Amino acid sequence: MTVRFGLLGAGRIGKVHAKAVSGDANAKLVAVADAFPQAAEAIASAYGCDVRSIEAIEAAKDIDAVVICTPTDTHADLIERFARAGKAIFCEKPIDLDVARVKACIKVVEETGAKLMVGFNRRFDPHFMAVRKVIDDGKIGDVEMVTITSRDPGAPPVDYIKRSGGIFRDMTIHDFDMARFLLGEEPVSVVATAAVLVDKAIGEAGDYDSVSVILQTASGKQAIISNSRRATYGYDQRIEAHGSKGVVSAENQRPVSIEVANAEGYTRPPLHDFFMTRYTEAYANEIASFISAIEKGSKISPSGADGLAALVLADAAVQSVKEGKLIRIG
């Protein structure tokens, strides 16, 4: 079976998914839609597909699934429309920045029986998948303490910050998902601290750029998250899971692994400086997983519920900073 795709949104991340779909032997990119015709044309020409309107894709009989890469504030509406249209849906995170809206959207998905996958790409990084497998294989025993370090090479423009929902909903949300992925048990409390250390303009926009979070589960397992909008040495992405029998970690990835030594010491090049080069394989694996789940009719993960759970943790973190206390979940 070949899964036939429509792509909604032809921007930066849209291109990534267009390439992944086109390169997958079990999928075919049929059409692309974008508010900017030129962006859609570029993808259509590169991968030999049609340019169509969203409405046309919605109505198309030759399209089985869509990839939603449009602006965040359109996600929930599009999910609902395509769920009703009977398409399988891959949607970039987040479903929405508002928990109530996400819940309403998930309700529609459930009612229509649509397949929905939410784009937490890091779960598909081969190194992080290997960490998860070590845990699943029982090699570190029961997970006890998870540590996630996640720092961006630099802060996004303040305009982006303003629309982002804030650092916890925009950036930490990936780490909340990763914590859930590694803990294997739902967090029941969140406590966070936050500060503006990188760029005052971020503070003036009402957001933070340097935050720390502790999650705890009912059985006492803890996950620590450290985020910064700055990392001069590249895109810093490390995870560690400490358990009763041992510890497993995934170190940073760098594009070139050489070392030069001289009188000043031993120097290795910086890390990847961009999430797309860091997570190239993750993006490809993610779409492959979506395609495979559609083909086999198997369970899709991460689901809408996973998207919701991470957002709930993000909201709790915001509240924890505001109120200076630990917030209980659920």
Residues that bind its own copies (CB under 8 A): 126-127, 130-131, 134, 139-140, 142, 144-145, 147, 149, 151, 189, 191, 193-198, 210-212, 214, 216, 219-222, 224, 226, 228, 230-233, 236, 242, 244-251, 253, 255-270, 324-326
For residue 194, CA distances in Å to 8, 89, 106, 197, 273 come to 35, 35, 30, 9, 24
Comparing CB distances to its own copies, the nearer of 17 and 229 is 229
Q: Which amino acid is at 323?
A: E
Comparing CB distances to its own copies, the nearer of 203 and 303 is 203
Would you state the structure tokens that stand for residue 122, as one six-digit string? 């890091």
DSSP 122: G
- Least distance CB 82 / its own copies (angstroms): 30
- Least distance CB 150 / its own copies (angstroms): 11
Would you state the structure tokens that stand for residue 318, as one six-digit string? 């915001």
Q: Which amino acid is at 90?
A: F
Comparing CB distances to its own copies, the nearer of 103 and 242 is 242
- Least distance CB 267 / its own copies (angstroms): 5
Comparing CB distances to its own copies, the nearer of 96 and 125 is 125
Q: How many CB atoms lie within 10 A of CB 185?
A: 15
- Least distance CB 47 / its own copies (angstroms): 12
29: enclosing H helix or E strand:
strand 27-33
Residues 72 and 78: their CA atoms lie apart, in Å, by 10
Strands 27-33 and 50-51: parallel
- Least distance CB 221 / its own copies (angstroms): 7
Comparing CB distances to its own copies, the nearer of 86 and 126 is 126
